[in-house]
Copies of this chain bind each other. A is one copy, B any other.
Amino acid sequence: MLPGVGVFGIGSTARVLVPLLKAEGFEVHALWGRSEEEARCLAEELGIPFHTSRSDDVLLHQDVDLVCIYVPPSMTRQIAVKALGIGKNVVCEKAATAVDSFKMVTAARYYPQLLSIMGNTLRFLPAFVAMRQLLVEGYVGEVQVCDVRVYGPSLLDQSYGWTCEELMGGGGLHTVGSAIIDLLSFLTGARAQRVHGLLRTFVQQNVSIRGIRRVTSDDFCFFQMLMGGTVSSSGGVCCTVTLNFNMPGSFVHEVMVVGSSGRLVVRGTELFGQNNGSKGEELLLGDSGWAGPEVREMPLPHLQGLSAMVKSLRQSFQAHEERRSWARGPVAMAPTFEDGLYVQTVVEAVKRSSCTGEWECVEVMSQEPDPNHNLCEALQRNKN
């Protein structure tokens, strides 16, 4: 039996998610928006019976068993941790910092019977599922290089907000790069050990962001990851990722994996492959013909990935009679909160590398940093 759903967020993802959930048979009972007015508008538009601007009203709603959190990064942790505490299943967008991600991991570990997955959706895109399968089967031989590029128009909102602020989780690296980092560890079965990166903000002001305000989030980012042992490689895999969001009118989303005996590449939502022996590429998985909504702000790979994730959620819950119970199988490939922490750790290491100019190690937090750490250090300094 499918659980009732509560949705947090009124952005483009939430707007797309609700129809996708309904199409799969989920009932969306409640919508949360930052302001009462915004929540009311979208609830009416999408036909959701209840709306609010108070998060508890959704979390404590008796018909809500699954909470989907698609809000700005700085707000995800608080809602996700609370939702788990109340006993709700959670699908959640990324957090703003590794510390927040760690708190989410702690909560998820505490309630292992509850579903807790990251709302990052490229893993579910059929082209990437097929790519991973072929990598495991040895289509490319030993994996050597992953080369990713995403080009597109600006990620900034029309008005000043979190998308402009690096510290609020804005920027190409945090928004798009994190999905790529997760995807590459899904595809290669390995995690980044060392990273090097360069971030730039070429457009610091525009028509709507001016005066004393400046954009601090990156619109160009370029990073390399050296991965550990992988599904099909004993040596280290080099990943290079180029993100450029100063290209209005373009949309390029290309993920290439090169190995010792061939290569695979996903362009947009299609998978191509080539063996070293063959003369040209072959189409391995074509576009399925997307019949769902088109969203200007949301590229097709993310949109179709989101749709596939909702289908998997349906399968996961359908398997059980009880509304809150779910089967692990259909969502086994979803990124966990642990994966979310890893991704956030890589994002922060790349940012650090961009400042220091050096290769930075990726060390995933295993303990929450002591909030009094800085204070202690200051006391220590005073003593000496």
A-side interface residues toward B, CB under 8 Å? 144-145, 147, 149, 196, 198, 200, 202-203, 220, 222, 224, 238, 240, 242, 244, 246-250, 258, 260, 263, 274-280, 357-359
CA distance A238 to B359 in the complex (A): 18
**Are A276 and B258 neighbours in the complex by a CB distance under 8 Å?**
no
**Are B222 and A260 neighbours in the complex by a CB distance under 8 Å?**
no
Our pick among B145, B244, B278 for the contact of A249 (Cβ within 8 Å) is B278
**Are A147 and B244 neighbours in the complex by a CB distance under 8 Å?**
yes
**Are A144 and B202 neighbours in the complex by a CB distance under 8 Å?**
yes
Q: Which residue of B has the minimal Cβ distance to A235?
A: B202
The distance from the CB of A62 to the nearest CB of chain B, in whole angstroms, is 49
Which residues of the partner chain B approach A238 to less than 8 Å between Cβ atoms?
198, 200, 220, 222
Q: How many copies does the complex hold?
A: 2
**Are B222 and A222 neighbours in the complex by a CB distance under 8 Å?**
no
Which residues of the partner chain B approach A248 to less than 8 Å between Cβ atoms?
276-277
- Contacts A260-B202, A358-B357 given; does A279 touch B246 at CB 8 Å: no
CA distance A240 to B202 in the complex (A): 16
Which 5 residue pairs are nearest across A and B when measured between Cβ atoms? A357-B359, A144-B202, A248-B276, A222-B240, A249-B279
CA distance A246 to B277 in the complex (A): 12
Which residues of the partner chain B approach A277 to less than 8 Å between Cβ atoms?
248-249
The distance from the CB of A61 to the nearest CB of chain B, in whole angstroms, is 44
Which residues of the partner chain B approach A358 to less than 8 Å between Cβ atoms?
357-358
Which residues of the partner chain B approach A276 to less than 8 Å between Cβ atoms?
247-249
Which residues of the partner chain B approach A260 to less than 8 Å between Cβ atoms?
202-203, 246
**Are B359 and A244 neighbours in the complex by a CB distance under 8 Å?**
no
**Are B222 and A249 neighbours in the complex by a CB distance under 8 Å?**
no
CA distance A203 to B357 in the complex (A): 29
Which residues of the partner chain B approach A359 to less than 8 Å between Cβ atoms?
357
Extra 7 A-B pairs, beta carbons < 8 Å, given A240-B242, A250-B274, A358-B358: A145-B202, A200-B238, A203-B260, A222-B224, A246-B258, A249-B276, A250-B263
CA distance A73 to B286 in the complex (A): 46
- Contacts A200-B238, A357-B359, A359-B357 given; does A247 touch B220 at CB 8 Å: no
What would 30 A/B residue contacts be, using CB atoms closer than 8 Å?
Answer: A144-B202, A144-B220, A144-B246, A145-B202, A145-B220, A145-B244, A145-B246, A147-B242, A147-B244, A196-B196, A196-B198, A196-B357, A198-B224, A198-B238, A200-B238, A203-B260, A222-B224, A222-B240, A246-B258, A246-B260, A247-B276, A248-B277, A249-B275, A249-B276, A249-B277, A249-B278, A249-B279, A249-B280, A357-B359, A358-B358
Q: Which residue of B has the minimal Cβ distance to A275?
A: B249
The distance from the CB of A4 to the nearest CB of chain B, in whole angstroms, is 42
The distance from the CB of A260 to the nearest CB of chain B, in whole angstroms, is 7
**Are B249 and A274 neighbours in the complex by a CB distance under 8 Å?**
yes
The distance from the CB of A201 to the nearest CB of chain B, in whole angstroms, is 11
